[in-house]
Chains A and B, each alone.
Chain A
């Protein structure tokens, strides 16, 4: 070492530091690339299967490129019961969305804007729902629904789905309203609005994008739910119920096409709400 001058040692150190930095950067980027493909590649493969003819889907070995043959998808669409199931899924999800937002928004507003006795109890009730496997509640409800004539109805199903979605909708909207300064509302009151007008004219426009996001969230919860849907619907099956109940009878290409159809709207919706992903969980966290 002694025959190396200080400058040379320093230069070596600097080179070493740079090399390390580069190596970390490389490692970092490749793990990002790995994780991204770990998520996307399986979806891609499902798409390849869905965009291939039945022969290819059942054949072997498989090509990793799609044929762009619509046979599987059109067969799926024409397969007995699919169209109806698709329609039912949509209806149940829309019901759920409307009910969850309709009930959840006022409650969220109350949590954000008022201090009242029982507030903590209410919050506990909301949080409690998340400590239970909610789809199980479909079991007793199936019996109850028979008694009140809601059995095998999409409305009945969407009530169960709402029980799943409502806690989220309350927490999300309350965090949304908390994020809108109460001073804006107070300014509107001072300028002559009543509480309702102030809410509609000042708060609503600001909260609308977030409300949309939480509505979409409710939609996706219902769209994806399997257990309650399978237990509660018989003739009015949703897509998930249909797929799960025909697992052993339907041809594989129907499963694959069905899987793709199930995933696509969810991916699109998530893309729409991606900005709110955090505000949804950030507060739904506590």
Chain B
């Protein structure tokens, strides 16, 4: 998985691309933590449009990011998940905890 970001007006958009599984999640989480330390955004958006695969390791990464944002008084959201990641998000019911914007839904 690759992690890149842009920052504008309090919002950090974190672009995830490639495959997000247990193998790639630890490094990905470290990179996200570093980006949040550096920018201290009010809003963090996990843009999943480049993610070709995600399993439950992605859910843990999302929940950890959401918790961290909430503790610092900010918010997190997910944007543009493709079909396969969307099905994992739907099966988990995670949408009750974090908004999902755009993407491929049923």
Q: Are both chains from one complex?
A: no
B contact residues vs A (CB 8 Å cutoff): none
